Amino acid sequence: MIGFDRSWQVVGLIGLVVVLRVLIPRLPGQRRFRAWLLELDDSLLIAILVVFCLLRPFVIQAFYIPSGSMEPTLRQKDRILVLKFWYDVRDPEPGDIVVFRAPKAAYYSNPEENRDLSEQKDFIKRLVGCPGDRLRVADYMLSRNGKPVQEPYLQDPPIYAWPLDPANDVLVPPGQEVVFGDNRNNSNDSHRWLLPTLGQSEVHAPFVARDALLGRAWLVFWPWSRARILR
């Protein structure tokens, strides 16, 4: 299915509507019918320009869920709407479901699904840590600033410890965020992200830059049986 998420697809759609605008006056038939088609075509062109030049870049955009990393909150093949302006007017908060540009560490940590390291992908996860937060996963639970976090939305409790050094929490630096999938044990997220370095095999790289956040997930609109606002 065409998602019109590439520039050439949008340009092609606009081009098709413009070509129809030229061809419609030459169609045989009643003048009133051609006038109705021209009005419909003009309305369609205006709608396309509003959606792709105003709403989608700055206000709201549809996204497709490609994996089960956010189950049970979001299932594979769900379609959602994301508020792209959200973090222009307010700060991210723990618990937000966010769409973001995946960092390079996410590609290195899952090479089977990310063979092209130059490709830019959008991920969706739950934000669990903001600048200044101290995070740890131990005893099947996430702790933030020394307090256990109640997470009734999880598929299963995490069966891993994070970070590997149990004596140190992860301190989220300024301008960075930490994200986990709700399907904690089957999610390519901050707890897994590593980067190769010179002189060392890998270093932990769990952060997403604040300016990589594309928006906050708002609602599921497809399938209809699962349509609901995300909280």
* C-beta contacts of 14-21 below 8 A and 24+ residues apart: 14/45, 14/48, 14/49, 14/52, 17/41, 17/44, 17/45, 17/48, 18/45, 21/45
- Catalytic positions are 69, 125
pLDDT value for 108: 83
pLDDT value for 50: 64
In this structure, are strands 194-197 and 60-64 parallel, antiparallel, or unpaired? Answer: unpaired
pLDDT value for 189: 96
Residue 128 · residue 146 · CB < 8 Å: no
pLDDT value for 1: 37
**113: which DSSP letter?**
T
CB count within 10 Å of CB 87 equals 17
pLDDT value for 73: 96
pLDDT value for 38: 80
For each successive 10 residues of the chain (231 residues), what is the average pLDDT?
Answer: 56 77 79 81 71 65 91 94 91 96 86 69 95 95 96 95 85 97 96 78 87 94 89 79
